[in-house]
Structure 1
Amino acid sequence: MSGPAIIYQQELARSEGLLSGLNRRFARLGFARLAVFVGIIALAAVAVANRGGAAVPLNGALVAGFVGLIGWHERVARRRERAERSVAYYQCGLARLEDRWLEGGDPGDRFRDDAHLYATDLEVFGQGSLFHYISVARSETGASMLASWLLQPADAATIGARHDAVRELAQDLALRHDLAVAASAARGALDSTALRAWLAAPPAGFPPGVRPATALLAVANVATTGAALAGWIPGFVVLGSYLVSLAVVRFQSVRTNPVLHSVERPARELRVLAALLSRVADHPFASGRLRHLAGAWSGASSAVAEIRRLERLVDLLDARRNQLFMPVAALTLFGTQLAVAIERWRARVGTKAVGWLEAVGELEALSSFATLAFEHPADAFPEVVADGAFVETTGMAHPLLPSDRAVPNDFNLGGSRRLVMVSGSNMSGKSTFLKAIGANVVLALAGAPTRSTRFRVGQVALGASLVLRESLLEGRSRFYAEVLRLKAIVTRAETGGPVLFLLDEMLSGTNSHDRAIGARGILEGLVARGAVGIVTTHDLALTEIAKSMKAAALNCHLEDELIDGQLHFDYRIKPGVVERSNALELMKSIGLTSALDS
């Protein structure tokens, strides 16, 4: 059992022990509350029967004890919920290490973009995807940040800064655990889109004098009501104060009502943000990027205090709905004063809160990479070079494959070698090899460790054509979809920096003659524009393209071996063109022998 698994199991056992103890305490306190409540009822009956007596003060003591038990019970309930989230955190970690991660997690389907040059082809999002495997973000902000990193390669300097941050966080399991536990208290609560919209919405437009006017009217209403009840002033004075207040409330309701109706969801989201900020406040980060993020919430205690102020305003909004409080609320123009206070908070804190949100989202994205580094300590942090189009790797495998099934390969592309043509028989692993290269390049250019012992890559733009589909509604065949993707990759090579292209079974939807001519023209054009790439094929005619390009291209292959009538694959890439096919053997293996022999 590996080091990370041992650590997770130890922490899981500790968390389960804590949870078990809290469950027992929670149950005992529940019984104690019930017993005290029954005692209160019984003593109340005794007091009524005896018209008071010693039962009254004793019952008062029981009531006080009952109130105390309620608070104690709630505190234990919160600790129990945290322990449950802690248990879930370590269980998820073990599930990833034991290749059971498909059972839960976030597939990130909402980030899918079929028009993206590699996201769908390399399975970046969706069930069983790269995002599904990596993401431990509990907030939508963190998930969105991670998704953007996987879709938009960073520059070499940014990647280096992320590496330092990831290495630091990988060594701090306690911090990563606490961030996940704090945010998972309200999964998905930090909806960055909704919260940003609320923070950046135009001001409600309360006139400058509304705040002092409502405060003065509230004082006037209370004072005149009290004076009238005491008989000091006539009733029409009170009525006049009420009518003025009613006019102000009615006139401002067009501003007040939207403010009060729109604040509750953002307040819930900000409550989760406060929990995260509370954990990182004053944390002694060492890496430059993490210190930079800490600057966004510098004085995080004040950031938390600001959010707590808004929470108190929302709590008052809840009190306003209480029927017993409604007369007081009407008397004091409570709703209008509350809306003005919320708007003042938004004007004062809105811009800063967006910064807090961004910083915490980046911290969660970095924590996802750090978790990957912690759980796979042998994975290499890549070297990303600002100039050039190349990939050099040793011991590379696909990060989504279980370790007992992933076959590592060494591979070099770049320099004078601009194209590698990979031929091979069916099921020999050509597509998986392309996806392994692509997935590791995506990780490398996002700032994550790669599933390899060494990985060096230029700062390339990635383009892939592996899983294109036809569209009946758009009247588009698979071949035409591939042609459009190839056009997009060529355009990227013409207009941008160096391109790495990954093409699976290139132009397989047309006849061999057109395929050979089209493939040659496209590949020679890409290479002429500074691109490098890998192409897989069953069609051995395409291997002639690599031969004709001499030192600029290389033929490699993946093959199978027929042993005792069974096909065996080693998934190792080898130089040269494949020398045998297995299509007939595969067809015969599923009972098509008679059809083939006829």
Structure 2
Amino acid sequence: MVGASAELSASGPEVAYQGRLQEVNAAIVVLEQQDRRFVRIRSILGVVSICLAVLCIGRADVISWRWMLLPLSVFLVVLPFDRRCLGRLSRQRQVRSFHESRLRRLKRDFSGESENGSEYDSESHPWIRDLDVFGRGSLFQMLNECRTRPGQRVLAEWLTTVPQSSEIRVRQARAQGLKQELGLRESLACIPEAEGWESAERLLKSWVREPAEPIPTGVILWSVLIGLASLAVLGLMIQTPGMFRWLPVLALLQMPAI
């Protein structure tokens, strides 16, 4: 990944993205071949299991059912490698989508971009409309790599406010550092999209605004009494093993408190 970062700095973003995309495509081809091998292994194990099951049922006196453990054992051994291969394949495909989308952005093609920041547009703002800050093909759509709605709001705020010069220099330094961290940007691109963030945010805000409901006094007293009774029964069980039969009763008594 250091080579990709150096290439990004020396040759420009388009060359770096294309070079990295070729590497990812080559890795995807290898992983797809491995996945097909695992599919064949699973198919063979399935056929062998069916044949052994038929033989065990029809010729139980000749073939023991323990032979069924053989394909099962092989399957359990192969399964972690198969899942690891699928995970790596899924990640490489996400990385490929990331680089393809960045190449489209460089060509001013935003066909695959859904967020354009139009909800942050304002007619009264002094430069939003003149500089095409929001909307299709806007500066926001070019820069946006946020995964959540709050992150998009922060980006929109940065594009519509004038910070202190010291803050501008800090942001520029961080952007320059992030520019070289192509591997980090790939990892961030592989984080699942927070599609339901808006509804989750509304639910969280409504929950925060709701007044706290006190626990009923009866529930507290009941929990204390049952807790003390449970301790007493546990002490008796140590002395008398037959007291274990009262455990289900204590569990049922705890239900109102839950």
Instruction: Say whether the 8 Å CA contact 1:15–1:87 is kept in structure 2.
Output: yes
Query: 1:133 aligns to what?
Result: 142
Question: What is the TM-score with the length of structure 1 in the denominator?
Answer: 0.35
Letter of the structure 1 residue corresponding to residue 111 of structure 2: E
Structure with greater proportional strand content:
1
1:148 is aligned to 2:157: yes
What is the Cα deviation at residue 54 of structure 1? 4.8
CA RMSD of aligned residues (A): 3.9
* Residue 232 of structure 1: how far off its partner (Å): 3.3
Query: 1:296 — aligned with what?
Result: none
Name 2:15's counterpart in structure 1. Answer: 6
Q: Secondary structure at the match of 1:248?
A: coil
Larger relative contact order, structure 1 or 2 (CA cutoff 8 Å, min sep 6): 2
When residues 74 and 52 of structure 1 are mapped into structure 2, their CA distance, relative to the original with a 3 A threshold, is farther
| Corresponding residue of 2:70 | 61
Amino acid at match of 1:73: D
Alignment match, 1:107: 116
Which of these two proteins has the greater Rg computed from alpha carbons?
1
Shift of 1:88: 1.0
Alignment-derived partner of residue 95 in structure 1 = 104
Considering fraction of residues, name the structure with more helix.
Answer: 2
1:352-431 maps to which residues of 2 (within 5 A)? none
Number of the residue aligned with 2:89: 80
Cα-to-partner distance string for 1:492-536 (whole Å, 9 max, x where unaligned): xxxxxxxxxxxxxxxxxxxxxxxxxxxxxxxxxxxxxxxxxxxxx
Q: Distance in 2 between matches of 1:234 and 1:72?
A: 44
Distance 1:215 1:35 in 2: 56
Task: Say if 1:111 and 1:125, in contact at 8 Å, map to a contact too.
Answer: yes
Q: How does 1:10-49 map to 2 (within 5 A)?
A: 10-49=19-58
Q: Is the 8 A contact 1:26 1:73 kept in 2?
A: yes
Structure 2: give runs of 5+ residues left out of the alignment. 1-10
Question: Paired residue for 1:158, among 136, 151, 167?
Answer: 167
Is 1:193 matched with 2:210? no
Secondary structure of residue in 2 paired with 1:91: helix
Taking the TM superposition and a 5 Å limit, the aligned residue runs for 1:587-598 are none
Gaps of 5+ in 1: 250-598
Q: Residue 300 of structure 1 aligns with which residue?
A: none
- Maintained 8 Å contact 2:45/2:71: yes
Q: 1:246, CA displacement in angstroms?
A: 2.7
- Report deviation, 1:117: 4.1
Q: C-alpha distance in 1, partners of 2:69/2:226?
A: 39
Q: Is the 8 A contact 1:43 1:55 kept in 2?
A: no
Residues 92 and 37 of structure 1, relative CA distance in 2, 3 Å threshold: same
Contact map agreement 1:137 1:143 (CA 8 A) in 2: yes
CA distance in 2: counterparts of 1:170 and 1:96, whole angstroms:
15
| Equivalent residues of 1:33, 1:70 under 8 A apart | no
Q: TM-score, structure 2 length as denominator?
A: 0.74
**Residues 417-461 of structure 1, C-alpha deviation per residue, up to 9 Å, x if partnerless?**
xxxxxxxxxxxxxxxxxxxxxxxxxxxxxxxxxxxxxxxxxxxxx
